[in-house]
Structure 1
Amino acid sequence: MAFCCIIKKNGLGKFKKRELIKILREEVLNILDCQKAFLHIPSTVEDKHTNDGVSEHHIIEFFLDDLSSLEKGIHHIRSKLYSMGSYSEPIIQILLTREYEYKNNPIDEEKKFSYFVEYTGITNNDTAWCNHYIKNHVELMKKLPNIKQIVVHTPLAWIYPEGTHIFRSLLCNRVSFQTKRDFDSALKSSVRDEMREDYKKFPRFDGICTHYAMETYSIMAES
């Protein structure tokens, strides 16, 4: 079973990319025994179906297979990130992760281009809603041309220190591509149209769904 700690933090745009990755690797990554970790830097893309602009946050993903290790590390991660870029609290959530990678067409782990999607709101039945999403929408994602990776995060109960700023999602997902050209082509494809039609068939959902383009870098890879 895999878990992911997703952290949103503003004010990190003042750092150059290599400098920021180095700081995260040396000052934050050593707190956790991660399987992998990624930094997502806000970017732009043209999508014929949505236009949510540019994310105000950088996003960090830490992947572990030990929930208690993540929970124990949250306080130290908060302390390290608080003063980085701006004195603002990082916003944190821990989720259960389902990951789909395409081994026959391996992705360069150092850099990729991603769409980070978040659903926030209420449903009549969260489990049924997520089940529909994974069984139907993810199957369409797998058909996107040149798709390299799909990650789906769903909620779970976790323990966090008092004062932790958390956000709660119904579901988050990330689709990643090797190049910006591949990313653009996927969003212009007929599969993207199929996904939009499927979105209209989702079980009842009252809330918002955001799509943010990101440049994605491995924090663990040498750069």
Structure 2
Amino acid sequence: MEVCLFLIGYRSDTHREPRDVDTSLVEAASRNVEGLRRFVIHRAVESANGDPLSQEDGLKPTCVLQWYFDDLDLGETALQRDGAAHTIVDHTTDAAQGRLAFTQQLMAVRRFATPNAHDSGNPSEKCTYLVGYEGEARDFNAWLTHYLTHHPPLMAQLPGIRELEIYTRVDYRTGLNIPRATAMQRNKVVFDDPAALAQALASPVRARMKQDFDAFPAYSGPASHFPMHSIYGNLNRT
């Protein structure tokens, strides 16, 4: 089972811009993580038009780091005390002069085909829309069954979509001394740039997705939607 570690950074004050994050430091450290297959570094951007059909709740992340591993053991190893994730959090926080606070979550990965997939194994830089279901479904099995049956086929029709992944939570061990995020589910849809994302969000497909969302099994809690500028790293390890 492929798993993905999310390290999610939030500004701990209101006086600095997200550009404080040193992505070159995070990228260099990520390339030395044992067992890591690929990584994505996301930085917050302002969407030109926003999502006309979403209602935002909660804090907006300044940065999100995704680390992909082939199995849970490798992901847990990266999370142990003085491991790779510990180094990333400490160094990034220090570089931002304490203005970042991180959460962690290790999740199972489901990847879906898209008609306009990336042209190569290393797409370099893209625009990503990260979605988080932070609350709870009354019946998670019913929720997930409905979601995986109906929603990915609609998302794959978004004009210009390059990548589609859905993540669900797993139980995991960690030695990282930061709070655990507890999202029930996360999604990622990827586009070439903010203009392509804005076009997709304004498309009739997005309206059909909203209709399906209104038919979901009972769920309570926020559903967050964040546009991000994304730097990809494919380590091509065998």
Do both share a fold (TM > 0.5)?
A: yes
Q: How does 1:126-137 map to 2 (within 5 A)?
A: 126-137=140-151
Could you say what the CA RMSD is over the residues aligned between the two structures, in angstroms?
2.2
Cα deviation per residue 1:178-206 (whole Å; 9 max; x = unaligned)?
23222111111000000111111110001
Q: Hey, what's the Cα distance between the residues in 2 that align with 1:36 and 1:132?
A: 29
Match of 1:24 in 2: 26
**Equivalent of 1:201 in 215, 232, 235:** 215
Match of 1:97 in 2: 109
Match of 1:49 in 2: 53
**Equivalent of 1:139 in 131, 138, 153:** 153
Match of 1:183 in 2: 197
Q: Unmatched 5+ residue regions in structure 1?
A: none
Aligned partner of 1:65: which letter? D
Match of 2:14 in 1: none
**Equivalent of 2:88 in 74, 77, 80:** 80
Q: Hey, what's the Cα distance between the residues in 2 that align with 1:162 and 1:146?
A: 37
**Equivalent of 1:106 in 118, 128, 147:** 118
**Equivalent of 2:173 in 137, 156, 159:** 159
Q: 4+ runs of 1 displaced by more than 6 Å? A: none
Count of aligned residue pairs for this structure pair: 217
After alignment, is 160-169 or 119-128 more displaced? Answer: 160-169
Aligned partner of 2:19: which letter? G
Cα distance 1:106–1:152, how it changes in 2: closer, same or farther (>3 A)? same
Say which SS state the counterpart of residue 106 (structure 1) adopts: coil
After alignment, is 191-200 or 53-62 more displaced? Answer: 53-62
Q: Hey, what's the Cα distance between the residues in 2 that align with 1:105 and 1:5?
A: 23
Kindly state the Cα deviation for residue 143 of structure 1 after the two structures are TM-superposed. 1.0
Cα distance 1:122–1:69, how it changes in 2: closer, same or farther (>3 A)? same
Q: Contact (CA 8 Å) 2:114, 2:156: kept in 1 or not?
A: no
Q: Hey, what's the Cα distance between the residues in 2 that align with 1:151 and 1:44?
A: 22
Cα distance 1:181–1:191, how it changes in 2: closer, same or farther (>3 A)? same
Match of 1:10 in 2: 10
After alignment, is 55-64 or 191-200 more displaced? Answer: 55-64
Cα distance 1:58–1:189, how it changes in 2: closer, same or farther (>3 A)? same
Kindly state the Cα deviation for residue 207 of structure 1 after the two structures are TM-superposed. 0.7
Q: Hey, what's the Cα distance between the residues in 2 that align with 1:100 and 1:35?
A: 18
Kindly state the Cα deviation for residue 49 of structure 1 after the two structures are TM-superposed. 1.1
Kindly state the Cα deviation for residue 112 of structure 1 after the two structures are TM-superposed. 0.8
Q: Does 1:148 align with 2:153?
A: no
Match of 1:69 in 2: 74
Kindly state the Cα deviation for residue 126 of structure 1 after the two structures are TM-superposed. 1.3
Say which SS state the counterpart of residue 62 (structure 1) adopts: strand
Cα distance 1:117–1:204, how it changes in 2: closer, same or farther (>3 A)? same
